[in-house]
Structure 1
Amino acid sequence: MMGKHAQNRLLAYSTPIVLIGLLVLMAGMVSLFGDKALARTMAETLVRVVLVVGLWIFVGNSGVVSFGHAGYMAIGAYCSAWLTLKPQMKSMFLPDLPQWLAQAEWPVLPAAIVSGLLAALVALISGAAILRLSGIAASIATFAFLAIVNTVYSNWEGVTGATSSVVGLARYVDQWVALAWAAAAIIAANLYANSASGLALRATREDDVAASACGIDMYRHRLIALVVSGFFTGVSGALLGHSIGVLNPDSFYLNITFISLAMLVVGGIASLSGAVIGVLSLSVLIEALVRLEQGVTVGATAFALPSGAQEILIGIVMILILVLRPSGLLAGKELRLPQRGVTLKSKNTQTN
């Protein structure tokens, strides 16, 4: 019979199966019964899953709240634009790009991977300085990093287009492309969380003094988590750009920072499942409120929420959730396969 520790690890690795299965089910239902607008909404939701899961890899394991991940998202988005836009478009909107980059026209998949790697490199460089701080000081430093990235990208006219929108990106990201990347992010996040580095980092989250006394290098493990997190956050930026076809620095600033943190907190910051459920819950709520603002006809009566009600109602719902469930909807629990099924499978494996 398999030992209890081995069974627990097997159960932990079942979490991605449940989460990916849930996303596949939702995407399939939208494909079968939804319209094009709902399919686009599903694609945007899955891109948010990539973003928030990437954010969770660092925040959920380290306990350090980061306001700077939208900066890595911007870096990934613009890198993908530099690599995939047609040279004629780049000569019009981004005339100061280096010649080799101005003539580049990469396939979208390698461009997304390189965009993530560039964001991970920036995460390594920025994290080397920021992560020497702890607590609120580290969080404020991440916000300073976001402000720096936004300022640079909003004023580097010949390379980023400054505040003018960069248009012409190939809109190849549908719900299935976004689903593939969401699945990859969930698998990577689960693997990291159950790795030696992830377990050590969570030990520092619970008690950094005790973890340090046990010889755990908190700085090194936080930096590893930030680099992995930066990769998927950068990829989410590339996916978002190729989902809507337009880039603007303000798309990667305060609004997306706070909505991604809200999704993480509402679902439960202490678990990967909480990150995914937080995205799905708030995305459904946002879509419902948007449609109500546009107007809904019930019988002979037309009903519409007043403009701006969406933000107010989302804020009220978030407050209620955090008052009633301070630890989030899942309260740190993971969605896993039934334990009986795992135990029976383990026994059968040993018998054979």
Structure 2
Amino acid sequence: MVTQHMIRRRMARTTPLLLALLLLGFALIATQFGDRALARMASETLIRVAMVVGFWIFVGNSGVVSFGHAAFACVGAYVSAWLTLKPAMKSMLLPGLPDAVAAADWHVFPAAIVAGLVAALVALVSGAAILRLSGIAASIATFAFLAMINTIWSNWTPITGGTSSVVGLARYVTPWVALGWALAAILVAAVYSASASGLALRATREDEVAASASGIDRYRHRLLAYTLSGFFVGVGGALMGHYIGVINPDGFYLSLTFLMLAMLVVGGIGSLSGAVVGVLALSLAVDALVRLEKGVTIGQATFSLPPGSQEIIIAIAMILVLIFRPTGLLAGREIMLPARWVAGRNQSDK
């Protein structure tokens, strides 16, 4: 006999599959039926999906708003650059690198994995201290960590190039490479969310006192989610570097922090589907507004928005979402197949 609990579990398992189909359809439309600008937008959007889903692994399950995850993207981007840049380029731009790193000439894929692992290690070490705090204190501590990483990277000139841009990164990322990493992030996020650690962490999010009374170790589960989250945000930073071809510490600072937060808030922090939908919604809106700023010709007339309109319109849209839909577009719900589709014949016949 199929119980209601089994039906809910089957429904939950369809979420990553449906999100994968959504992103696959998005990538196909952008690459097969759009122009080159749309294909580039698709690559950037799918990289953001990987980063924001990684961000959600911690924020969505713990309920702690982190302002420091852009630091992991910064670490990941620079680690990948250290491993993939040509040795001659590194000798000019980054003369202080250790000999083994200066001589490295890796392919981007293993470098991205190592970048994620180093970012995860940084998350583990920093989270060991930060996550002993809770509430607004933890959020402020994550922002302090971000400022610290940005200051170090901006002044560690022989190793990072300081405030100068590091150029010459291989332009490796295509929509399909970014799609692969986005799907990997979604799968891992779904598996973690359904795991014992994910369930325990969400219990601390809903009622910290009751969870503690039940014997749940909040600190351990938060640290695990924080570390796993750091891995995918670090990989996202590496992908961003190999998509643009240039990295700079300020590219992984406040603007990226608030962009990830905005996408998560618009879609809905309470669900994995909300994280994905938030990225797609804001990315498509920004692309449409940029095109309108450049001008759209209809017949004999050309319509265009004043420069800078996209920031104002996006800000107004976010305010409206927060007022009329404070829990996000999906309101904490997951995209999944209806119960009657997964219940089985015996259940559907009742």
Query: Percent identity over the alignment?
Result: 66
Pairing 1:335–2:335 present: yes
Describe the SS at the equivalent of 2:297.
strand
Report the RMSD for the aligned CA atoms in angstroms: 1.2
The answer (yes or no) to whether the contact 2:8–2:339 under 8 Å persists in 1 is: no
Match of 2:174 in 1: 174
Q: Does 1:263 align with 2:263?
A: yes
Distance 2:245 2:155 in 1: 21
Distance 2:333 2:312 in 1: 29
Structure 2: which amino acid aligns with 1:158?
A: P
Paired residue for 1:204?
A: 204
Alpha-carbon distance in 2 for matches of 1:300, 1:183 = 43
* Pairing 1:130–2:135 present: no
Spell out, residue by residue over 1:300-341, the C-alpha distance to the aligned partner (whole angstroms, 9 max, x if none).
222221111111110001111111111100000000022222
Task: Check the 8 A contact 2:294/2:304 in 1, yes or no.
Answer: yes
Q: Deviations over 1:226-267 (max 9, x none)?
A: 000000000000000000100001110000100110000000
**CA distance in 2: counterparts of 1:166 and 1:215, whole angstroms:** 48
Other-structure match for 1:102: 102
Q: TM-score, normalised by structure 1?
A: 0.97
The answer for unaligned runs of 5 or more in structure 2 is none
Amino acid of the structure 1 residue aligned with 2:245: G
Q: Trace 1:51-62 onto structure 2 (pairs within 5 A).
A: 51-62=51-62
Match of 1:29? 29
Residue 69 of structure 2 is matched in structure 1 by 69
Counterpart CA distance in 1 for 2:98 and 2:73 is: 22
Q: Which residue of 2 aligns with 1:323?
A: 323
Aligned to 1:18: 18
Aligned residues: 348
Deviates more, 1:98-107 or 1:4-13: 4-13
1:286 aligns with 2:286: yes
Q: Shift in Å at residue 10 of structure 1? A: 1.6
How far apart, in 2, do the equivalents of 1:236 and 1:101 lie?
Answer: 21
Q: Which amino acid aligns with 2:37?
A: A
Aligned-pair CA distance for 1:345: 7.0
Task: Tell me the TM-score normalized by structure 2.
Answer: 0.98
For the residues of structure 1 that align with 2:259 and 2:107, how far apart are their CA atoms?
Answer: 31
How far has the Cα of 1:6 moved from its partner? 2.1
Provide the C-alpha distance between the structure 2 equivalents of 1:169 and 1:2, rounded to a whole number of angstroms: 53
Amino acid at match of 1:268: G
Cα displacement (A) at 1:346: 8.6
Q: 1:52 to 1:345 in 2, by over 3 A?
A: farther
The gaps in structure 1 that reach 5 residues or longer are: none
Distance 1:293 1:107 in 2: 38
Task: Report SS of the residue matched to 2:172.
Answer: coil
Alignment correspondent of 1:276: 276
Alpha-carbon distance in structure 2 between the residues aligned to 1:119 and 1:238: 10
SS at match of 1:2: coil
Aligned twin of 1:305: 305
The residue type paired with residue 327 of structure 1 is: T
Deviation per CA, 1:4-60: give whole Å up to 9, x if none: 222211211110000010000111111210111110100000000011000000000
Task: Give the corresponding residue for 1:7.
Answer: 7
DSSP 3-state at the match of 2:79: helix
SS of 1:302 mapped into structure 2: strand
Question: Secondary structure in 2 aligned to 1:329?
Answer: coil
* Amino acid in structure 1 at the alignment position of 2:152: V
Contact 2:94 2:158 in 1 (8 A): yes
1:347 Cα shift? Answer: 7.2
Moved more, 109-118 or 295-304: 295-304
Counterpart AA for 2:173: V
